[in-house]
Amino acid sequence: MRKKRTLFWKTVACGIFLFVLSGQVFAFDQEQLRAYESLFLADTGCNDPDTLLRKSGELSGRVSLDNPAPEAFLSGIRLGILYHNLSLHGAEKGHRGYAEKAADILSKLYHHPDLPEELRPICGAYLGSSLAVAGGEAVNPLIKMKRVKDGLKYLDVGVKRYGKDSYYPLLLRGNVGIAIPSFFKREKTAVEDFLRLEQWHQREPERIPDGIMPSVFLQLGNYYKKEKKIEEAIIYWQKAYHLDPAGEVGTQAKALLALFAG
């Protein structure tokens, strides 16, 4: 009987060990994750090319990825986010190539063995999005496809592992899925990601910043308009306008409401 019990507990211990090795269990501090999300919020919401160029220029000289200390991880991710946004919002001013810079920095950090687990949802989401944006900038069709597909892989892993803990993977995968060409067949997944964010915001309004939701609602409205579901579209444009009446997203939603809601 004692031998059977010993064998049972050895089997349980072995199973737990293999489960941990498989990467399904993480030492995860929810409060630390929220602190990191708040820390990066100002950078994630910045879309002014001149500000992004100035901030990234100031930060780039202070970031070293050789044996980074914890503060270097934070600075490196900040720089990656700034480069990512500069590529998104600065193309019309000729600021190109920054998505590749962002992907290079974020890849080194994401794959660094000492990166805190709580930073992986944010770092991985921006790495995936940066690769997708770099694909959009690439001239060679093969490189375009590879960059986007690689980016989607990181985003899918991020949502699978961290989608219940952090809104960053859902938000970034949704944005990418809506933006990339339809032949990637990611629009439905993007809508599902946005709807999950809406449900999360309804359950825990303090968990997801209000500043993130107007864009989510605007994109949902635009999707339903495309699907010729105008009533649903109007509902989401109203939500976007309600949260951002004086902002850029609210202005777009107001214009669409004037056209379709009368």
Burial of 212 (0-12, 13-18, 19+ CB in 10 A): middle
Query: Greater confidence, 47 or 13?
Result: 47
- Predicted structure pTM score: 0.88
Q: Which residue has the tokens 């001149």?
A: 50
Q: Are 93 and 86 contacting, i.e. CB atoms less than 8 angstroms apart?
A: no
Q: Indicate the range of 68-77, 90-99, 166-175 predicted with least confidence.
A: 68-77
- Cβ neighbors of 56 (< 8 A, separation 6 or more) are 79, 82, 83, 86, 98
CATH class of 30-182: mainly alpha
pLDDT one-digit tens code per residue, 93-141: 899 999 999 999 999 999 999 999 999 999 999 999 999 999 999 999 9
Query: Greater confidence, 24 or 126?
Result: 126
Q: How far apart are CA 181 and CA 206, in angstroms?
A: 34
Q: Indicate the range of 12-16, 82-86, 202-206 predicted with least confidence.
A: 12-16
